[in-house]
Amino acid sequence: MTDRYAVVGNPIAHSKSPLIHTTFARQTQQDLRYEAILAPLDSFISTVEAFRQQDGKGMNVTVPFKLEACRFATELTERASIAQAVNTLKFESDTILGDNTDGAGLVRDITANLSIPIAGKRALLMGAGGAARGVILPLLQQQPATLAIANRTPQKALDLQRQFSAYGRISAGSYMDFAGTHFDIVINATAASLNDGLPELPDGIFAAGALAYDMMYSKEPTRFLKYAARQNVQYLADGIGMLVEQAAESFHLWRGIRPDTATIIAQLKNSSN
Ligand code: ATR
């Protein structure tokens, strides 16, 4: 029987997840169907339960339901528990397993697809919301030389620093606190790009040969990536690779098979130009 999966969010119409997972399924010859489901803002749990009762096997969860999904799961992987956010649900009899594959997707895109090691590098994470929180542990596990977290509201960065201090050395503060410091990898995990905004980064923070990575993506380069280009940053990347890699990690959790990601990443990057 064809197994059913879905991505649930609000809004959801423009999600690329159905295309990505359908491509993975075809490539790995898995008999599954993957759809996009719009959940009303006040009905996440009933929407998920209905899908589960109709023999759904798993779901991806996107904005704004990742925290609710975390509370809804009956078991959490360590990385989901630490992130306090769930982007993948797996249904198995009475168990609802919650996982978070976002950080693994980011790390894999940087280290495997872009061939840029994080180990030993000076990394700056911009933002201290849910998107940032989800990637801190996987980044620390790569053993960067330093991980700095900068946020418009510095207190939130300081809170994350305290919360994650057991997993590695983190510095935290406002963007201006890092003026004069140089970073090899700068990751934008703020929501600023959504509104064509740009955090107030001090000029000159990019080291020679740096990578500027925006976890968002859009047809045009984001303002952060345009800013980085003006700062002569050598490597620029948007979040398409991360999107596909987090999907591959979810697919692996559900099906036990790791799909090839290069072809669909190239296809999405071309179609978004
Ligand atoms: P998400 O779950 O997507 O991370 P969030 O929890 O609302 O969303 O967090 C949004 C992040 O983007 C925060 O770090 C926010 O900074 P504040 O904590 O100071 O609000 C950041 N952000 C959003 N718009 C921004 C802008 N124009 N400039 C700088 N930071 C911005």
Asked if residue 127 has its Cβ within 6 Å of ligand 1, the reply is yes
DSSP letter string, 20-57:
HHHHHHHHHT--EEEEEEEPPTT-HHHHHHHHHHTTEE
Using pLDDT thresholds of 50, 70 and 90, give the confidence band for residue 89.
very high
- Rounded to the nearest angstrom, the distance between the alpha carbon of 110 and the centre of ligand 1 is 22
CATH fold label, 103-108+116-238: Rossmann fold (3.40.50)
What percent of the chain stands above pLDDT 70?
A: 99
- Whether 90 is a known active-site residue: answer no
| pLDDT over threshold 80, residue 37 | yes
* Mean pLDDT across 84-98: 96
| Predicted local distance difference test score (pLDDT) of residue 61 | 97
What percent of the chain stands above pLDDT 90?
A: 95
* Mean pLDDT across 90-96: 96
How far are the Cα atoms of 211, 216, 227 from residue 241, in angstroms, in the given order? Answer: 14, 10, 20
| Predicted local distance difference test score (pLDDT) of residue 194 | 84
If you average pLDDT over every residue of the chain, what do you get?
96
Query: Which positions ≥6 away from 132 have C-beta within 8 Å?
Result: 125, 126, 149, 151, 160, 189, 190
What are the residue ranges of CATH 3.40.50.720 in the chain? 103-108+116-238
CATH-assigned architecture of domain 3-100+241-272? 3-Layer(aba) Sandwich (3.40)
- Rounded to the nearest angstrom, the distance between the alpha carbon of 27 and the centre of ligand 1 is 37
Q: Whose CA is nearest to atom 11 of ligand 1?
A: 190
| pLDDT over threshold 70, residue 128 | yes
Catalytic residue among 16, 57, 66, 219: 66
Atom of ligand 1 nearest to the CA of 127: 14
Residue from 190, 194, 200, 222 whose mutation best tests the ligand 1 pocket (most atoms within 8 A of CB): 190
Supply the DSSP symbol for 207: E
* Mean pLDDT across 112-141: 96
What are the residue ranges of CATH 3.40.50.10860 in the chain? 3-100+241-272
Task: Please say whether the beta carbons of 236 and 221 come within 8 A.
Answer: yes
| Predicted local distance difference test score (pLDDT) of residue 29 | 97
Asked if residue 129 has its Cβ within 6 Å of ligand 1, the reply is yes
| Predicted local distance difference test score (pLDDT) of residue 54 | 95
Q: What pTM value is reported for the model?
A: 0.95
Asked if residue 192 has its Cβ within 6 Å of ligand 1, the reply is yes
Tokens of 73: 């799961």
* Mean pLDDT across 139-155: 98
| Predicted local distance difference test score (pLDDT) of residue 193 | 86
Using pLDDT thresholds of 50, 70 and 90, give the confidence band for residue 195.
confident
| Predicted local distance difference test score (pLDDT) of residue 196 | 86
Query: Which pLDDT tens digit goes with each residue over 150-176?
Result: 999 999 999 999 999 999 999 999 999
Atom of ligand 1 nearest to the CA of 156: 18
Task: Please say whether the beta carbons of 97 and 90 come within 8 A.
Answer: yes
- Rounded to the nearest angstrom, the distance between the alpha carbon of 195 and the centre of ligand 1 is 11
Using pLDDT thresholds of 50, 70 and 90, give the confidence band for residue 272.
low
**Residue with token string 């940032």:** 132
Tokens of 67: 């925290």
- Tell me the C-alpha distance between 214 and 217, whole Å: 7
Tokens of 138: 């996987």
| pLDDT over threshold 80, residue 273 | no
Query: Which positions ≥6 away from 234 have C-beta within 8 Å?
Result: 208, 209, 210, 211
| pLDDT over threshold 70, residue 56 | yes
C-alpha R_g of the chain: 18
